[in-house]
Structure 1
Amino acid sequence: MPSCSLSSIAAAAVALPLVRLASAHGYVSGVSVNGGSVIEGTNPNWYYLPEGQVPETPGWRALNQDNGFVEPNAFGTSDIACHKSATPGPAYIDANPGDTLTLYWNTWPESHHGPVLNYLASCSGECTSASAGSLSFTKISEGGLLSGSNPGTWASDTLIAQGFSSDVRIPSNLAPGNYVLRHEIIALHSAGNPNGAQAYPQCLNVRVGGSGSSRLPSGTPATQLYSANDPGIIFSLYRQFSSYPIPGPSVWTG
Protein backbone atom coordinates (compact mmCIF):
# COMPACT_ATOMS: atom_id res chain seq x y z
CA MET A 1 0.00 0.00 0.00
CA PRO A 2 1.30 3.50 -0.77
CA SER A 3 2.24 6.03 1.84
CA CYS A 4 2.29 9.79 1.47
CA SER A 5 4.83 12.27 2.79
CA LEU A 6 3.99 15.74 4.00
CA SER A 7 5.64 17.32 0.98
CA SER A 8 3.77 15.15 -1.52
CA ILE A 9 0.40 16.70 -0.72
CA ALA A 10 1.49 20.28 -1.32
CA ALA A 11 -0.19 20.43 -4.73
CA ALA A 12 -3.44 19.06 -3.36
CA ALA A 13 -3.36 21.52 -0.49
CA VAL A 14 -3.39 24.41 -2.96
CA ALA A 15 -6.80 23.23 -4.14
CA LEU A 16 -8.32 23.39 -0.66
CA PRO A 17 -10.97 26.03 -0.07
CA LEU A 18 -10.49 28.47 2.76
CA VAL A 19 -12.30 26.68 5.58
CA ARG A 20 -12.39 28.04 9.09
CA LEU A 21 -11.70 25.18 11.49
CA ALA A 22 -12.07 25.63 15.22
CA SER A 23 -8.63 26.81 16.30
CA ALA A 24 -8.82 25.29 19.77
CA HIS A 25 -8.63 21.64 18.76
CA GLY A 26 -6.33 19.47 16.68
CA TYR A 27 -5.85 16.23 14.80
CA VAL A 28 -3.00 13.82 14.04
CA SER A 29 -1.46 15.30 10.89
CA GLY A 30 1.49 12.92 10.59
CA VAL A 31 3.49 10.04 12.02
CA SER A 32 7.09 8.86 11.87
CA VAL A 33 8.67 5.49 12.63
CA ASN A 34 11.81 5.53 14.78
CA GLY A 35 12.37 9.20 14.00
CA GLY A 36 12.28 8.74 10.23
CA SER A 37 10.49 10.82 7.63
CA VAL A 38 6.99 12.02 8.47
CA ILE A 39 4.10 10.22 6.80
CA GLU A 40 0.92 12.22 6.37
CA GLY A 41 -1.89 11.16 8.71
CA THR A 42 -5.13 12.90 7.83
CA ASN A 43 -6.65 16.36 7.51
CA PRO A 44 -10.30 17.28 8.10
CA ASN A 45 -10.14 19.70 5.17
CA TRP A 46 -9.80 16.75 2.79
CA TYR A 47 -13.57 16.42 3.14
CA TYR A 48 -13.81 19.37 0.72
CA LEU A 49 -11.48 17.99 -1.94
CA PRO A 50 -13.00 16.69 -5.19
CA GLU A 51 -13.33 12.93 -5.49
CA GLY A 52 -10.04 11.36 -6.50
CA GLN A 53 -7.89 14.14 -5.01
CA VAL A 54 -7.77 12.91 -1.41
CA PRO A 55 -4.20 11.75 -0.63
CA GLU A 56 -3.76 8.02 0.02
CA THR A 57 -2.56 7.91 3.62
CA PRO A 58 -2.96 5.59 6.63
CA GLY A 59 -5.05 8.04 8.67
CA TRP A 60 -8.77 7.39 9.06
CA ARG A 61 -11.04 10.13 7.69
CA ALA A 62 -13.87 11.48 9.84
CA LEU A 63 -16.61 14.08 9.76
CA ASN A 64 -14.83 16.38 12.21
CA GLN A 65 -14.39 19.43 10.01
CA ASP A 66 -14.98 21.61 13.08
CA ASN A 67 -12.02 19.84 14.78
CA GLY A 68 -14.65 18.74 17.26
CA PHE A 69 -14.90 15.88 19.71
CA VAL A 70 -16.97 12.86 20.67
CA GLU A 71 -19.11 13.62 23.71
CA PRO A 72 -19.78 11.07 26.47
CA ASN A 73 -23.40 10.73 25.39
CA ALA A 74 -22.05 9.22 22.15
CA PHE A 75 -19.66 6.75 23.79
CA GLY A 76 -22.12 3.95 22.99
CA THR A 77 -21.83 4.61 19.25
CA SER A 78 -19.10 3.68 16.79
CA ASP A 79 -18.04 7.36 16.67
CA ILE A 80 -15.90 6.75 19.74
CA ALA A 81 -13.76 4.25 17.80
CA CYS A 82 -12.03 6.59 15.33
CA HIS A 83 -14.10 9.82 15.52
CA LYS A 84 -17.37 10.82 13.87
CA SER A 85 -18.48 8.61 10.94
CA ALA A 86 -14.86 7.53 10.43
CA THR A 87 -13.74 5.53 7.42
CA PRO A 88 -10.34 3.86 7.00
CA GLY A 89 -7.43 5.36 5.17
CA PRO A 90 -6.29 3.44 2.07
CA ALA A 91 -2.64 3.01 3.11
CA TYR A 92 -0.52 1.64 5.98
CA ILE A 93 2.34 2.67 8.21
CA ASP A 94 4.96 -0.10 8.02
CA ALA A 95 6.55 -0.93 11.37
CA ASN A 96 8.06 -3.80 13.34
CA PRO A 97 7.67 -4.95 16.94
CA GLY A 98 9.54 -2.63 19.27
CA ASP A 99 9.45 0.32 16.87
CA THR A 100 8.46 3.73 18.22
CA LEU A 101 5.81 5.68 16.35
CA THR A 102 5.78 9.43 16.91
CA LEU A 103 2.37 10.97 16.28
CA TYR A 104 2.28 14.66 15.39
CA TRP A 105 -0.75 16.78 16.20
CA ASN A 106 -1.17 19.95 14.19
CA THR A 107 -1.90 21.76 17.49
CA TRP A 108 -3.31 21.24 20.95
CA PRO A 109 -4.59 23.89 23.40
CA GLU A 110 -2.95 24.27 26.80
CA SER A 111 -6.32 24.50 28.53
CA HIS A 112 -7.37 21.02 27.33
CA HIS A 113 -5.62 18.97 30.05
CA GLY A 114 -6.16 15.24 30.11
CA PRO A 115 -4.92 11.70 29.52
CA VAL A 116 -3.29 10.36 26.35
CA LEU A 117 -4.23 6.77 25.48
CA ASN A 118 -3.11 4.28 22.83
CA TYR A 119 -4.87 1.14 21.64
CA LEU A 120 -4.41 -1.49 18.93
CA ALA A 121 -7.09 -3.49 17.13
CA SER A 122 -6.33 -6.48 14.94
CA CYS A 123 -8.04 -6.37 11.57
CA SER A 124 -9.68 -9.43 10.08
CA GLY A 125 -8.06 -9.00 6.70
CA GLU A 126 -7.30 -5.51 5.42
CA CYS A 127 -7.69 -2.55 7.77
CA THR A 128 -8.29 -0.45 4.66
CA SER A 129 -11.72 -2.08 4.33
CA ALA A 130 -12.56 -2.36 8.04
CA SER A 131 -15.46 -0.59 9.71
CA ALA A 132 -15.13 1.31 12.97
CA GLY A 133 -17.91 -0.70 14.58
CA SER A 134 -16.18 -4.01 13.85
CA LEU A 135 -12.98 -3.24 15.77
CA SER A 136 -12.12 -4.39 19.29
CA PHE A 137 -9.29 -2.51 20.97
CA THR A 138 -6.51 -3.47 23.35
CA LYS A 139 -4.87 -0.68 25.33
CA ILE A 140 -1.08 -0.71 24.91
CA SER A 141 -0.11 2.49 26.77
CA GLU A 142 -1.57 5.37 28.74
CA GLY A 143 -0.58 8.53 30.54
CA GLY A 144 -2.72 10.62 32.85
CA LEU A 145 -2.02 12.94 35.77
CA LEU A 146 1.71 13.58 36.21
CA SER A 147 1.73 15.91 39.20
CA GLY A 148 -0.18 18.56 41.10
CA SER A 149 -3.87 19.48 40.96
CA ASN A 150 -6.19 22.35 40.15
CA PRO A 151 -5.52 21.69 37.28
CA GLY A 152 -2.18 19.84 37.59
CA THR A 153 0.24 18.65 34.92
CA TRP A 154 -1.01 16.00 32.51
CA ALA A 155 0.14 13.74 29.69
CA SER A 156 -1.40 16.24 27.28
CA ASP A 157 1.02 18.88 28.63
CA THR A 158 3.94 16.59 27.78
CA LEU A 159 2.54 16.29 24.25
CA ILE A 160 2.52 20.10 23.94
CA ALA A 161 6.05 20.39 25.36
CA GLN A 162 7.28 17.88 22.77
CA GLY A 163 6.11 20.06 19.90
CA PHE A 164 2.59 18.61 19.78
CA SER A 165 3.93 15.05 19.47
CA SER A 166 3.46 11.82 21.37
CA ASP A 167 5.36 8.52 21.21
CA VAL A 168 3.87 5.03 21.26
CA ARG A 169 5.88 1.82 21.09
CA ILE A 170 4.70 -1.21 19.16
CA PRO A 171 4.72 -4.16 21.61
CA SER A 172 8.06 -5.91 21.38
CA ASN A 173 6.78 -9.40 20.50
CA LEU A 174 3.62 -8.49 18.60
CA ALA A 175 2.72 -10.96 15.88
CA PRO A 176 2.83 -9.77 12.27
CA GLY A 177 -0.42 -8.49 10.85
CA ASN A 178 -2.63 -5.55 10.02
CA TYR A 179 -3.69 -3.33 12.91
CA VAL A 180 -5.52 -0.11 13.62
CA LEU A 181 -3.73 2.18 16.07
CA ARG A 182 -6.22 4.22 18.08
CA HIS A 183 -4.55 7.27 19.64
CA GLU A 184 -6.66 9.51 21.84
CA ILE A 185 -6.66 12.57 24.05
CA ILE A 186 -9.54 13.05 26.48
CA ALA A 187 -9.84 16.73 27.38
CA LEU A 188 -11.12 17.30 30.91
CA HIS A 189 -11.49 21.09 31.10
CA SER A 190 -15.31 20.77 31.16
CA ALA A 191 -15.49 17.26 32.60
CA GLY A 192 -16.72 18.43 36.00
CA ASN A 193 -20.17 18.50 34.40
CA PRO A 194 -22.10 15.52 33.01
CA ASN A 195 -21.39 15.05 29.29
CA GLY A 196 -18.57 17.57 29.61
CA ALA A 197 -15.50 15.46 28.79
CA GLN A 198 -14.22 15.68 25.22
CA ALA A 199 -12.77 12.61 23.46
CA TYR A 200 -10.53 13.08 20.43
CA PRO A 201 -9.86 9.58 19.01
CA GLN A 202 -7.55 9.35 15.99
CA CYS A 203 -6.94 6.12 14.03
CA LEU A 204 -4.20 5.01 11.64
CA ASN A 205 -3.56 1.72 9.84
CA VAL A 206 -0.33 -0.04 10.81
CA ARG A 207 1.16 -3.09 9.07
CA VAL A 208 3.44 -4.89 11.52
CA GLY A 209 6.17 -7.14 10.16
CA GLY A 210 8.85 -9.10 11.97
CA SER A 211 8.55 -12.51 13.58
CA GLY A 212 6.78 -11.82 16.88
CA SER A 213 4.48 -14.45 18.34
CA SER A 214 2.22 -12.52 20.76
CA ARG A 215 -1.28 -12.00 19.46
CA LEU A 216 -3.54 -9.35 20.88
CA PRO A 217 -6.23 -10.51 23.30
CA SER A 218 -9.82 -10.33 22.11
CA GLY A 219 -9.99 -6.68 23.13
CA THR A 220 -12.91 -4.42 23.92
CA PRO A 221 -15.41 -3.10 21.38
CA ALA A 222 -15.07 0.67 21.13
CA THR A 223 -18.64 1.15 22.31
CA GLN A 224 -17.69 -0.52 25.60
CA LEU A 225 -14.42 1.30 26.30
CA TYR A 226 -15.96 4.04 28.44
CA SER A 227 -19.16 4.96 30.19
CA ALA A 228 -20.41 8.54 30.42
CA ASN A 229 -20.42 8.10 34.20
CA ASP A 230 -16.91 6.66 34.64
CA PRO A 231 -14.94 8.48 37.38
CA GLY A 232 -12.25 9.37 34.82
CA ILE A 233 -14.87 10.85 32.50
CA ILE A 234 -16.70 12.93 35.10
CA PHE A 235 -13.76 14.64 36.79
CA SER A 236 -13.27 18.24 37.90
CA LEU A 237 -9.83 19.68 37.19
CA TYR A 238 -10.42 22.76 39.28
CA ARG A 239 -10.16 21.33 42.79
CA GLN A 240 -7.59 19.59 44.96
CA PHE A 241 -6.90 15.93 44.09
CA SER A 242 -4.00 13.49 44.36
CA SER A 243 -4.82 10.93 41.67
CA TYR A 244 -6.80 10.37 38.50
CA PRO A 245 -8.52 7.11 37.44
CA ILE A 246 -7.55 6.70 33.78
CA PRO A 247 -10.64 5.40 31.96
CA GLY A 248 -10.79 2.29 29.82
CA PRO A 249 -9.38 -1.23 30.20
CA SER A 250 -6.02 -2.04 31.74
CA VAL A 251 -2.84 -1.80 29.66
CA TRP A 252 -1.88 -5.06 27.97
CA THR A 253 1.73 -5.97 28.74
CA GLY A 254 2.05 -8.46 25.89
Structure 2
Amino acid sequence: MPSFSTIAAFSFPLLQLASAHGYVAGIKVNQGTWIDGANPNWYYQPAGTAPQTPGWQALNQDNGFVAPDSFSTADIACHKSAKPGQKYISANSGDTLTLYWNTWPDSHKGPVINYLAKCSGECTAATPGSLSFSKISQSAWLSGSDPGTWVTDTLIAQNFTSDVKIPAGLAPGNYVLRHEIIALHSAGSANGAQAYPQCLNIKVGGSGTKSLPAGEAATAFYKSTDPGILFNLYTAFTSYTIPGPAVWSG
Protein backbone atom coordinates (compact mmCIF):
# COMPACT_ATOMS: atom_id res chain seq x y z
CA MET A 1 0.00 0.00 0.00
CA PRO A 2 1.35 3.48 -0.78
CA SER A 3 2.20 5.58 2.25
CA PHE A 4 0.06 8.63 2.85
CA SER A 5 3.07 10.85 2.28
CA THR A 6 3.37 9.25 -1.17
CA ILE A 7 -0.33 9.75 -1.82
CA ALA A 8 0.01 13.38 -0.83
CA ALA A 9 2.90 13.85 -3.24
CA PHE A 10 0.89 12.87 -6.33
CA SER A 11 -2.56 13.87 -5.13
CA PHE A 12 -2.25 17.46 -4.07
CA PRO A 13 -0.56 19.60 -6.76
CA LEU A 14 -3.86 21.27 -7.67
CA LEU A 15 -5.43 20.93 -4.23
CA GLN A 16 -3.06 22.80 -1.97
CA LEU A 17 -5.63 25.42 -1.01
CA ALA A 18 -8.24 22.84 -0.05
CA SER A 19 -6.09 20.09 1.45
CA ALA A 20 -8.27 19.92 4.56
CA HIS A 21 -10.98 18.01 2.69
CA GLY A 22 -10.45 14.46 1.56
CA TYR A 23 -11.44 11.68 -0.80
CA VAL A 24 -11.12 7.90 -0.87
CA ALA A 25 -7.58 7.30 -2.11
CA GLY A 26 -7.60 3.52 -1.82
CA ILE A 27 -9.40 0.38 -0.72
CA LYS A 28 -8.49 -3.01 0.72
CA VAL A 29 -10.71 -6.10 0.78
CA ASN A 30 -10.31 -8.07 4.02
CA GLN A 31 -7.03 -6.17 4.58
CA GLY A 32 -5.60 -7.58 1.36
CA THR A 33 -3.96 -5.79 -1.56
CA TRP A 34 -4.20 -2.02 -1.98
CA ILE A 35 -6.56 -0.87 -4.75
CA ASP A 36 -6.45 2.74 -5.95
CA GLY A 37 -9.58 4.85 -5.54
CA ALA A 38 -10.00 8.02 -7.59
CA ASN A 39 -7.91 11.18 -7.46
CA PRO A 40 -9.87 14.37 -8.30
CA ASN A 41 -6.94 15.62 -10.37
CA TRP A 42 -7.50 12.84 -12.92
CA TYR A 43 -10.83 14.26 -14.11
CA TYR A 44 -9.34 16.57 -16.73
CA GLN A 45 -6.54 14.33 -17.94
CA PRO A 46 -6.69 13.58 -21.67
CA ALA A 47 -8.78 10.57 -22.64
CA GLY A 48 -6.94 7.33 -22.03
CA THR A 49 -4.24 8.85 -19.83
CA ALA A 50 -5.89 8.79 -16.39
CA PRO A 51 -5.44 5.59 -14.37
CA GLN A 52 -8.36 3.18 -14.66
CA THR A 53 -9.66 2.34 -11.20
CA PRO A 54 -12.95 1.31 -9.54
CA GLY A 55 -13.40 4.84 -8.18
CA TRP A 56 -15.81 7.23 -9.88
CA GLN A 57 -14.20 10.42 -11.14
CA ALA A 58 -15.73 13.71 -10.02
CA LEU A 59 -15.36 17.34 -11.03
CA ASN A 60 -13.97 18.06 -7.60
CA GLN A 61 -10.52 19.57 -8.03
CA ASP A 62 -11.18 21.91 -5.11
CA ASN A 63 -11.88 18.89 -2.85
CA GLY A 64 -15.24 20.51 -2.24
CA PHE A 65 -18.65 19.20 -1.27
CA VAL A 66 -22.27 18.92 -2.34
CA ALA A 67 -24.44 21.45 -0.48
CA PRO A 68 -28.12 20.98 0.43
CA ASP A 69 -29.24 23.23 -2.41
CA SER A 70 -27.85 20.56 -4.77
CA PHE A 71 -29.37 17.53 -3.02
CA SER A 72 -32.05 17.37 -5.72
CA THR A 73 -29.43 17.06 -8.48
CA ALA A 74 -27.43 14.03 -9.65
CA ASP A 75 -24.34 15.50 -7.98
CA ILE A 76 -25.49 14.07 -4.65
CA ALA A 77 -25.17 10.52 -6.03
CA CYS A 78 -21.41 10.28 -6.65
CA HIS A 79 -20.22 13.91 -6.34
CA LYS A 80 -20.03 16.67 -8.93
CA SER A 81 -20.49 15.65 -12.59
CA ALA A 82 -19.35 12.14 -11.71
CA LYS A 83 -18.13 9.63 -14.31
CA PRO A 84 -18.06 5.89 -13.61
CA GLY A 85 -14.94 4.03 -12.59
CA GLN A 86 -13.59 1.74 -15.30
CA LYS A 87 -12.61 -1.20 -13.10
CA TYR A 88 -14.13 -3.19 -10.24
CA ILE A 89 -13.21 -4.16 -6.73
CA SER A 90 -13.59 -7.96 -6.57
CA ALA A 91 -15.21 -9.14 -3.33
CA ASN A 92 -17.74 -11.61 -1.97
CA SER A 93 -20.78 -11.11 0.22
CA GLY A 94 -19.71 -10.80 3.83
CA ASP A 95 -16.31 -9.35 2.96
CA THR A 96 -15.11 -6.16 4.65
CA LEU A 97 -13.87 -3.24 2.60
CA THR A 98 -11.54 -0.79 4.30
CA LEU A 99 -11.72 2.62 2.66
CA TYR A 100 -8.68 4.85 3.06
CA TRP A 101 -9.33 8.58 2.96
CA ASN A 102 -6.25 10.60 2.07
CA THR A 103 -7.09 12.97 4.94
CA TRP A 104 -10.01 14.29 6.96
CA PRO A 105 -10.19 17.39 9.22
CA ASP A 106 -11.20 16.84 12.85
CA SER A 107 -13.53 19.87 12.69
CA HIS A 108 -15.68 18.11 10.04
CA LYS A 109 -17.70 15.91 12.38
CA GLY A 110 -20.72 14.01 11.17
CA PRO A 111 -22.19 10.72 9.99
CA VAL A 112 -20.57 8.11 7.76
CA ILE A 113 -23.20 6.39 5.59
CA ASN A 114 -22.92 3.54 3.07
CA TYR A 115 -25.29 2.60 0.24
CA LEU A 116 -25.28 -0.03 -2.51
CA ALA A 117 -26.86 0.08 -5.96
CA LYS A 118 -27.17 -2.87 -8.35
CA CYS A 119 -26.08 -1.97 -11.86
CA SER A 120 -28.18 -2.88 -14.88
CA GLY A 121 -25.30 -4.31 -16.87
CA GLU A 122 -21.84 -2.86 -16.37
CA CYS A 123 -21.29 -0.23 -13.69
CA THR A 124 -18.53 1.13 -15.92
CA ALA A 125 -21.28 2.43 -18.24
CA ALA A 126 -23.69 3.63 -15.54
CA THR A 127 -24.72 7.22 -14.89
CA PRO A 128 -25.38 8.77 -11.47
CA GLY A 129 -29.05 9.26 -12.27
CA SER A 130 -29.53 5.61 -13.26
CA LEU A 131 -28.56 4.22 -9.85
CA SER A 132 -31.09 3.16 -7.23
CA PHE A 133 -29.45 2.89 -3.80
CA SER A 134 -30.21 0.97 -0.62
CA LYS A 135 -28.59 2.02 2.64
CA ILE A 136 -26.50 -0.80 4.13
CA SER A 137 -24.81 0.84 7.15
CA GLN A 138 -24.52 4.08 9.05
CA SER A 139 -22.87 5.56 12.12
CA ALA A 140 -22.73 9.08 13.50
CA TRP A 141 -22.78 10.60 16.99
CA LEU A 142 -21.06 8.56 19.70
CA SER A 143 -21.06 10.64 22.88
CA GLY A 144 -20.96 14.13 24.38
CA SER A 145 -22.07 17.37 22.78
CA ASP A 146 -20.88 20.80 21.71
CA PRO A 147 -19.53 19.21 19.51
CA GLY A 148 -19.16 15.71 21.01
CA THR A 149 -17.40 12.63 19.68
CA TRP A 150 -18.43 11.30 16.26
CA VAL A 151 -17.62 8.40 13.98
CA THR A 152 -15.45 10.78 11.95
CA ASP A 153 -13.19 11.04 15.00
CA THR A 154 -12.87 7.26 14.89
CA LEU A 155 -12.04 7.43 11.17
CA ILE A 156 -9.22 9.90 11.89
CA ALA A 157 -7.90 7.82 14.80
CA GLN A 158 -7.83 4.74 12.56
CA ASN A 159 -5.44 6.28 10.03
CA PHE A 160 -8.29 7.89 8.07
CA THR A 161 -10.02 4.56 7.43
CA SER A 162 -13.62 3.41 7.49
CA ASP A 163 -14.86 -0.17 7.17
CA VAL A 164 -17.98 -1.28 5.33
CA LYS A 165 -19.20 -4.87 5.15
CA ILE A 166 -20.82 -6.22 2.02
CA PRO A 167 -24.13 -7.68 3.21
CA ALA A 168 -23.94 -11.39 3.96
CA GLY A 169 -25.70 -13.49 1.36
CA LEU A 170 -25.86 -10.71 -1.23
CA ALA A 171 -26.38 -12.14 -4.70
CA PRO A 172 -23.47 -11.91 -7.15
CA GLY A 173 -23.46 -9.03 -9.58
CA ASN A 174 -22.13 -5.59 -10.38
CA TYR A 175 -22.74 -2.93 -7.74
CA VAL A 176 -21.83 0.66 -6.92
CA LEU A 177 -20.89 1.40 -3.34
CA ARG A 178 -21.81 4.93 -2.32
CA HIS A 179 -19.71 5.88 0.72
CA GLU A 180 -20.44 9.29 2.22
CA ILE A 181 -19.44 11.63 5.01
CA ILE A 182 -21.75 14.53 5.84
CA ALA A 183 -19.83 17.26 7.65
CA LEU A 184 -21.90 19.25 10.13
CA HIS A 185 -19.54 22.02 11.27
CA SER A 186 -21.61 24.64 9.40
CA ALA A 187 -24.93 22.76 9.46
CA GLY A 188 -26.48 25.04 12.08
CA SER A 189 -27.24 27.44 9.23
CA ALA A 190 -29.45 26.84 6.19
CA ASN A 191 -27.52 25.21 3.34
CA GLY A 192 -24.56 24.67 5.66
CA ALA A 193 -24.22 20.87 5.72
CA GLN A 194 -21.50 19.45 3.48
CA ALA A 195 -21.92 16.06 1.75
CA TYR A 196 -18.86 14.21 0.46
CA PRO A 197 -20.17 11.20 -1.52
CA GLN A 198 -17.65 8.75 -2.98
CA CYS A 199 -18.63 5.95 -5.40
CA LEU A 200 -16.78 2.73 -6.20
CA ASN A 201 -17.60 -0.20 -8.48
CA ILE A 202 -17.74 -3.63 -6.86
CA LYS A 203 -18.08 -7.01 -8.58
CA VAL A 204 -19.60 -9.28 -5.95
CA GLY A 205 -18.95 -12.99 -6.34
CA GLY A 206 -19.93 -16.00 -4.29
CA SER A 207 -23.19 -17.90 -4.06
CA GLY A 208 -25.47 -15.48 -2.23
CA THR A 209 -29.14 -15.30 -3.10
CA LYS A 210 -30.33 -12.08 -1.46
CA SER A 211 -31.36 -9.24 -3.73
CA LEU A 212 -31.17 -5.60 -2.76
CA PRO A 213 -34.56 -3.93 -2.26
CA ALA A 214 -35.72 -1.53 -4.93
CA GLY A 215 -33.97 1.38 -3.26
CA GLU A 216 -34.22 4.95 -4.49
CA ALA A 217 -32.33 7.60 -6.37
CA ALA A 218 -29.86 9.60 -4.31
CA THR A 219 -31.86 12.74 -5.09
CA ALA A 220 -34.59 11.38 -2.78
CA PHE A 221 -32.31 10.81 0.23
CA TYR A 222 -32.23 14.17 1.97
CA LYS A 223 -34.06 17.44 2.36
CA SER A 224 -32.33 20.62 3.45
CA THR A 225 -34.59 20.82 6.53
CA ASP A 226 -34.09 17.23 7.73
CA PRO A 227 -33.06 17.20 11.41
CA GLY A 228 -29.80 15.44 10.52
CA ILE A 229 -28.98 18.01 7.82
CA LEU A 230 -29.98 21.26 9.57
CA PHE A 231 -28.22 20.59 12.88
CA ASN A 232 -26.30 22.79 15.32
CA LEU A 233 -23.18 20.89 16.30
CA TYR A 234 -22.13 23.58 18.74
CA THR A 235 -24.85 23.36 21.33
CA ALA A 236 -25.97 20.88 23.98
CA PHE A 237 -27.75 17.89 22.41
CA THR A 238 -28.60 14.37 23.50
CA SER A 239 -29.39 12.70 20.17
CA TYR A 240 -28.82 12.92 16.45
CA THR A 241 -31.08 11.63 13.67
CA ILE A 242 -29.03 10.18 10.82
CA PRO A 243 -30.58 11.42 7.57
CA GLY A 244 -31.75 9.27 4.70
CA PRO A 245 -33.70 6.01 4.39
CA ALA A 246 -33.63 3.13 6.86
CA VAL A 247 -30.77 0.64 6.78
CA TRP A 248 -31.48 -2.55 4.83
CA SER A 249 -30.81 -5.40 7.21
CA GLY A 250 -30.50 -8.04 4.48
Q: TM-score, normalised by structure 1?
A: 0.93
Residue 176 of structure 2: aligned partner: 180
Secondary structure of the 2:43 match is: helix
Question: Aligned pair 1:207/2:216, yes or no?
Answer: no
Instruction: State percent identity of aligned pairs.
Output: 69
C-alpha distance in structure 1 between counterparts of 2:13 and 2:134, whole Å: 38
C-alpha distance in structure 1 between counterparts of 2:224 and 2:103, whole Å: 26
C-alpha distance in structure 1 between counterparts of 2:99 and 2:59, whole Å: 20
Residue 14 of structure 2: aligned partner: 19
Aligned 1:30-179 pairs, distance under 5 A: 30-179=26-175
Deviations 1:6-48 (A, max 9, x none): 59xx9xx87x893234111000000000000110000011124
Deviations 1:173-208 (A, max 9, x none): 100000000000000000000000000000000000
Contact 2:37 2:55 in 1 (8 A): yes
Secondary structure of the 2:198 match is: strand
C-alpha distance in structure 1 between counterparts of 2:170 and 2:47, whole Å: 36
C-alpha distance in structure 2 between counterparts of 1:51 and 1:174, whole Å: 35
Which of 235, 239, 242 is residue 239 of structure 1 equivalent to?
Answer: 235
C-alpha distance in structure 2 between counterparts of 1:50 and 1:72, whole Å: 32
CA-CA distance at 1:52 after TM superposition: 1.7
C-alpha distance in structure 2 between counterparts of 1:17 and 1:135, whole Å: 30
Report how many aligned residue pairs link the two structures. Answer: 245
Contact 1:17 1:48 in 2 (8 A): no
CA-CA distance at 1:53 after TM superposition: 1.3
C-alpha distance in structure 1 between counterparts of 2:241 and 2:88, whole Å: 33
Contact 1:6 1:40 in 2 (8 A): no
C-alpha distance in structure 2 between counterparts of 1:101 and 1:18, whole Å: 28
Structure 2 residues without counterparts, runs of 5 or longer: none
The code of the aligned residue for 2:86 comes to P
Aligned 1:183-194 pairs, distance under 5 A: 183-194=179-190
C-alpha distance in structure 2 between counterparts of 1:61 and 1:51, whole Å: 13
C-alpha distance in structure 2 between counterparts of 1:64 and 1:35, whole Å: 28
CA-CA distance at 1:51 after TM superposition: 2.6
Structure 1 residues without counterparts, runs of 5 or longer: none
**What RMSD over aligned residues (CA atoms) do the two structures have, in Å?**
1.6
Larger CA deviation: 51-60 vs 184-193: 51-60
CA-CA distance at 1:50 after TM superposition: 3.0
C-alpha distance in structure 2 between counterparts of 1:20 and 1:98, whole Å: 36
Aligned 1:210-221 pairs, distance under 5 A: 210-221=206-217
C-alpha distance in structure 2 between counterparts of 1:71 and 1:83, whole Å: 10
